[in-house]
């Protein structure tokens, strides 16, 4: 039972860890895009 438990922990940590990574990466990229778009707009206004 110990090997099955260890395997289940490893498999689902990997799977849910990847889900968590994808969610965090999406959030941080969307935030960066918003900041960069604001910069671009301000630069266009300033010209």
Partner 1 sequence: MQNKKWGWLELLTVLAAIMVAVNFYVGLIYAPDPSNLQTEVTRKAQHIFYYHMGMNVMAGLGMLVNFIGSVLYLLTRRRFWDAVARSAAEIGVLFGIGVLVSGSLWARPTWNTWWTWDPRLTTATITILLYAAYLMLRNAVEDPDRQARFAAVYGTFAFISVPITFMSIRLWRTIHPTVFGGGDPAAKGAFALGPHIRFAMQFSSWTFMLVFLLFLVVRVRVALLEERVMALRQQVDAQLSRGAEVDPMEHAGS
Site residues for partner 1 per CB under 8 A: 1, 3-4, 6-8, 10-11, 14-15, 18, 22, 25-26, 29-30, 32-40, 42-44, 46-47
Tokens of 28: 């941080």
Measured CA to CA in angstroms, residue 16 lies from 6, 8, 22 at distances of: 15, 12, 10
Tokens of 25: 């990466």
């Amino acid at each position: 039972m110990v090997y099955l438990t260890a395997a289940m922990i490893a498999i689902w940590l990997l799977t849910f860890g990847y889900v968590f990574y994808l969610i965090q990466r999406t959030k941080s990229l969307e935030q960066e895009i918003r900041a960069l778009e604001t910069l671009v707009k301000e630069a266009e206004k300033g010209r």
